[in-house]
Amino acid sequence: YKRNYIRLKFSREKVRSILNLSLPLIPHILGGIVMGMSDRLFIEHMISLESVGFYAIGYSFGKIIALFTDSFIKAWGPWFYKSIIDASDCKKREIVKYTYLYIVAVFILAGMTSWMAKLILPFMVTESFFDSGQFIFWIALGYAVQGIYKIFFPYLVHISRTWFLAVSTVFAAIINIVLNYFLIIEFGAIGATYATVISFLVSATMVFWYQNKNYPMPWFMGIDSNKGL
């Protein structure tokens, strides 16, 4: 520093760019926390604390899907950001192909996880907790849908539109709260899992729609990837 090998330079534009990209992630994270916790709070206050215990056991098995999707997205990110820069039509088709394979794999894994978890559940909990198995499939399905959301997340980072991630997640969190109340009244604790699936589906659909509108990809045969919606 003293020899001027390193010079400190403040760039207002870079700071603004960083803040525009990162600040919207705060409500995005808060919305995710709400969706991850509201179900158990509703079950506790509307049914019983014991039901929360059953739900939590099933939830822990179903959430195994998130371990896979999180790991994949961390590995996917560097390749995706490198590939998407000035991507040719061929490269876009390659990205789409891998995305479809990932989506299929996530749903297959959700089904396998649900099936295997119900097989091993009797060996891991006492008989009084066997009813926890009813929650596993729906929680696994919900996190599979969230995994689809995660694969479209990087597009919005690439085009610097992370504010829409906040919009989609906060909106989905509101939907989650409303659905938890009504579906738990209608179906009991299992209604919370339905609310989870629907709210994740809402956020995934919104992000996919926004991605395809602002950075079109050849997702469907016969659709011109060079035009927006």
Q: pLDDT class for 29, splitting at 50, 70, 90?
A: confident
Cα–Cα distance between 47 and 130 in angstroms, integer?
Answer: 18
- Looking at residue 225, its pLDDT comes to 43
Q: Which residues contact 184 (CB under 8 A, 6 or more apart)?
A: 42, 43, 46, 47, 191, 192, 195
Q: Where are the domains of the chain?
A: 33-214
The predicted model scores a pTM of 0.84
Give the DSSP letter string of 68-111.
HHHHHHHHHHHHHHHHHTT--HHHHHHHHHHHHHHHHHHHHHHH
Q: Tell me which range, 4-18, 95-109, 146-160, is most confidently predicted by mean pLDDT.
A: 95-109
Q: pLDDT class for 222, splitting at 50, 70, 90?
A: very low
Q: pLDDT class for 26, splitting at 50, 70, 90?
A: confident
- Mean model confidence pLDDT for the chain: 86
Tell me: the pLDDT tens digits for 87-110?
A: 888 999 999 999 999 999 999 999
Asked whether the predicted pLDDT for residue 122 surpasses 90, the reply is no
Q: pLDDT class for 227, splitting at 50, 70, 90?
A: very low
Tell me: the pLDDT tens digits for 164-195?
A: 988 999 999 999 999 999 999 999 999 999 99
24-33: average pLDDT: 80
